Amino acid sequence: SQKIEQNSEALNIQEGKTATLTCNYTNYSPAYLQWYRQDPGRGPVFLLLIRENEKEKRKERLKVTFDTTLKQSLFHITASQPADSATYLCALRSLSGGYNKLIFGAGTRLAVHP
């Protein structure tokens, strides 16, 4: 069956360190993968998209890698700040029933401590 797994339910790190979050998937062949941030009681906010032919994508302090052989994406936040504390969701595009749908992992909650 198809699965999207994110590495842990909660990740605690010290301010200034790099946070690394993992997204693994099985039985998908996504053309691209997306990362979202979700704050409590809010909808997801788009952060980055990476295509299957891209190894790495950067945006300010964020970096995403995509390894289609390992079926894994890594999401890095460098020089992390307490304001980065949130849940980070990875999502894959799935084409099914003629529709292009976004399927989400359960998310990893990140807590950055001062």
Partner 1 sequence: GAVVSQHPSRVICKSGTSVKIECRSLDFQATTMFWYRQFPKQSLMLMATSNEGSKATYEQGVEKDKFLINHASLTLSTLTVTSAHPEDSSFYICSARSQGTYNEQFFGPGTRLTVL
Residues that bind partner 1 (CB under 8 A): 4, 9, 32, 34, 36, 41-46, 49, 89, 93, 97, 99-107
φ and ψ of 109, to 5 deg: -85, 125
Residue 88 sits at the vertex; the CA angle it makes with 13 and 91, to the nearest 5 degrees, is 145
Least distance to partner 1, CB of residue 102, Å: 6
Read off the amino acid at residue 70. L
How many angstroms separate the CA atoms of 8 and 42, rounded?
21
Q: Which of residues 17 and 58 has its CB atom nearest to partner 1 in the complex?
A: 58
Q: Which of residues 1 and 114 has its CB atom nearest to partner 1 in the complex?
A: 1
Least distance to partner 1, CB of residue 43, Å: 4
Residue whose pair of structure tokens reads 């842990």 in the numeric block? 8
Least distance to partner 1, CB of residue 16, Å: 28
